[in-house]
């Protein structure tokens, strides 16, 4: 999966996640010496920044599309 595809998936998931839910791990800190793929996951700040940027550009936030009554 590309970074761009990952960011799209995460943004869609966050939009339907209750806004009071705390997300503990949206990306990981794998051992860079043994990581096979995806190589973009080595740069955690880039991943988090890409998610933040995509959400801002889309004018969206966690819970924006949450189903009512759940």
pLDDT of residue 28: 85
Q: What DSSP character marks residue 22?
A: P
The tens-digit pLDDT sequence of the chain (70 residues) is: 999 999 999 999 999 999 999 999 999 888 888 999 999 999 999 999 999 999 999 999 999 998 665 5
Rounded Cα–Cα distance for residues 66 and 19 (Å): 9
Nearest Cα neighbor of 43 from 28, 25, 56, 53 is 28
Residue with tokens 């969206």: 60
How far, rounded to the nearest angstrom, does the alpha carbon of residue 18 sit from its chain's CA centroid?
A: 15
pLDDT reported for residue 32: 85
State phi, psi for 58 to the nearest 5 degrees. -90, 0
């Amino acid at each position: 999966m590309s970074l761009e595809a990952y960011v799209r998936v995460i943004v869609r998931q966050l939009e339907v996640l209750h806004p009071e839910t705390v997300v503990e791990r949206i990306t990981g800190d794998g051992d860079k010496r043994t990581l096979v793929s995806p190589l973009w996951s080595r740069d955690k700040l880039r991943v988090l920044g890409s998610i933040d940027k995509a959400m801002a550009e889309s004018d969206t936030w966690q819970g924006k599309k949450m189903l009512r009554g759940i």
